[in-house]
Chains A and B, each alone.
Chain A
Amino acid sequence: MSDKTDMIKVENLDKTFTLHLRGGIALPVLRNTGFSVASGECVTLHGPSGAGKSTLLRSIYGNYRPQSGRILIRHDGEMVDIVHAQPRVVLEIRKRTLGYVTQFLRVIPRVPTLDIVAEPLLARGAGLDASRARAAELLTRLQIAEKMWDLPPATFSGGEQQRINIARGFCADYPILLLDEPTASLDEANRKIVINLIDDARRRGTAIVAIVHDADTRAAITTRLLPLQSQGVAA
């Protein structure tokens, strides 16, 4: 894949939340937002709290539904508008193209750590052994002790759960990765590991959009900064 392929193209995006339980007040968050991200780039969203960084990231993942505009995602060599795609197409895009890592792990009852991490790769059709081997590799790299792999992570610490979530997000080598505070509650050593993981993925050609509050981490991973102001008018 060439370095300059556009992987994400956001065009004229508007997102307003209407709170029906509070008399229908409208909160405009994104207005006429537009930018693109090429493969091998790490674009970091930057702006004050409330500027719409997470809203934008969730919209790109197809989790939030903008009122107008398009978000084109390169999926199987074609640009597909995830805002208007059918639900099953969105799921297909998430399965094979688009990864999303937050600081919170959504635990599935009874499923052991190793399988939670392996699941995205397994869902994509890689065999059980290959998926588990890749999951083990990532868990090792992220310093999750092997004795924990067979346990469901519900009772693990916040930092452990976060690293498990990162392992899960990186397991399937998605062409596009969305990262929402991936290093938020990690110690120095683990943060370095995650920074290297992100940088390795980018050098392999992954297009990355990230939200990072910590200035050092931001400096270490970012190739381009995208300023967002309140009401989200992007440069």
Chain B
Amino acid sequence: MTNLDQTPLLSVEALNKSFGRQAACRDVSFELWPGEVLGIVGESGSGKSTLLNAIAGRLSVDSGKVLYRTGGNDIIDLAAASEAQRRHLMRTEWGFVQQHARDGLRMTFSAGANIGERLMALGQKHYGSLRDTALDWLQAVEIAPDRIDDLPRTFSGGMQQRLQIARNLVTRPRIVLMDEPTGGLDVSVQARLLDLIRRLVQEHNVACIVVTHDLGVARLLAHRLMVMRRGQVVEAGLTDQLLDDPQHAYTQLLVSSVLSV
């Protein structure tokens, strides 16, 4: 097993977050390895999205560490990092795909500008090469190149979501967080998006944390799963182990509640 990395990309240690007296994340710890897709599943209100937002530094945490190994091989505790440091990472080495594309896109910018924004923030100014990159990425996410100057609101829900993915992946992030990336989309649109995410994640060897309540999505995308309930991780393991041989009562309930077609 000499070819496996010896240090994780991300180590979350004993993370706690409460809203008032309501604990949203209780003592959550896990590691994420390069290229690994980790799924977080559980019902609404289980703390999945809070955990994701806390990891991304969008929410302050009450206690715990979010240790990230940067591209330069420094270890940074994101829970204690400065706003500037965190912002820089979020624009470069991290991506965040929102459930609602309109929250993750700039709706008053063209599709091309949406893709180019992160690159411009990194100092790329050459208009021609930004446009070429945008065209490449539109193609990668299966959007016709002649839509480059159109506003995202003229796109369908599935196209907006694919544009949001392109916008995030353009800087070749090392970690992408996704909050219900296929939620609210038609089944056929979902399948296309899932296939696309699966392919891009493999091609670019990007580590992902995907929050979903859809076990089918989890089965298809994630290498490993964590099941959350009332802010706690009740069970974790390989995706197929968890879905085919669930041990915890709550995981058994989740798995048995899925309609199969």
Chain A residues within 8 Å of B, Cβ to Cβ: 17-21, 58, 62-65, 75-76, 80, 87-92, 108-111
State whether the Cβ of B70 lies closer than 8 Å to any Cβ in chain A. Answer: no
- Nearest opposing residue in chain A for B246, CB measure: A20
- Nearest opposing residue in chain B for A123, CB measure: B202
Bitwise, B184-216 to A at CB < 8 A (1) or not (0) is: 000000011011001000000000000000000
Q: Tally the A-B contacts, defined by beta carbons under 8 Å.
A: 59
The verdict on A89 contacting B195 (CB below 8 Å), with A19-B252, A21-B249, A62-B238 known, is no
Chain A contacts for B2, CB-based, 8 A? 76
The verdict on A63 contacting B240 (CB below 8 Å), with A88-B4, A108-B220 known, is yes
Whether B238 and A90, one on each chain, are in contact in the complex, defined by CB atoms closer than 8 angstroms, is yes
Chain A contacts for B109, CB-based, 8 A? none
State whether the Cβ of B83 lies closer than 8 Å to any Cβ in chain A. Answer: no
Chain B contacts for A108, CB-based, 8 A? 195, 198, 220
State whether the Cβ of B144 lies closer than 8 Å to any Cβ in chain A. Answer: no
Chain A contacts for B33, CB-based, 8 A? 88
Chain A contacts for B252, CB-based, 8 A? 19-21
Whether B4 and A92, one on each chain, are in contact in the complex, defined by CB atoms closer than 8 angstroms, is yes
Chain A contacts for B253, CB-based, 8 A? 20-21
Distance in angstroms from B250 CB to nearest chain A CB is 8
Whether A65 and B191, one on each chain, are in contact in the complex, defined by CB atoms closer than 8 angstroms, is no
Whether B4 and A65, one on each chain, are in contact in the complex, defined by CB atoms closer than 8 angstroms, is no
Whether A63 and B256, one on each chain, are in contact in the complex, defined by CB atoms closer than 8 angstroms, is no
State whether the Cβ of B149 lies closer than 8 Å to any Cβ in chain A. Answer: no
In whole angstroms, what is the CA distance A22 to B54 when docked? Answer: 37
Distance in angstroms from B104 CB to nearest chain A CB is 23
State whether the Cβ of B84 lies closer than 8 Å to any Cβ in chain A. Answer: no
**Within the complex, which residue of B198, B224, B248, B249 is in contact with A87, where a contact is CB–CB below 8 Å?**
B224
Whether B4 and A89, one on each chain, are in contact in the complex, defined by CB atoms closer than 8 angstroms, is yes
State whether the Cβ of B245 lies closer than 8 Å to any Cβ in chain A. Answer: yes
State whether the Cβ of B117 lies closer than 8 Å to any Cβ in chain A. Answer: no
State whether the Cβ of B74 lies closer than 8 Å to any Cβ in chain A. Answer: no
Chain B contacts for A75, CB-based, 8 A? 1
- Nearest opposing residue in chain B for A66, CB measure: B245
Distance in angstroms from A73 CB to nearest chain B CB is 12
- Nearest opposing residue in chain A for B248, CB measure: A20
The verdict on A64 contacting B1 (CB below 8 Å), with A87-B224, A108-B195, A108-B220 known, is no
A/B interface sample: 5 pairs, CB < 8 A: A20-B249, A87-B237, A88-B4, A108-B198, A111-B195
Whether A110 and B249, one on each chain, are in contact in the complex, defined by CB atoms closer than 8 angstroms, is no
Whether A92 and B1, one on each chain, are in contact in the complex, defined by CB atoms closer than 8 angstroms, is yes
State whether the Cβ of B180 lies closer than 8 Å to any Cβ in chain A. Answer: no
State whether the Cβ of B179 lies closer than 8 Å to any Cβ in chain A. Answer: no
Distance in angstroms from B58 CB to nearest chain A CB is 27
- Nearest opposing residue in chain A for B219, CB measure: A106
- Nearest opposing residue in chain A for B202, CB measure: A123
Chain B CB count within 10 A is highest, among A89, A91, A92, A109, for A109
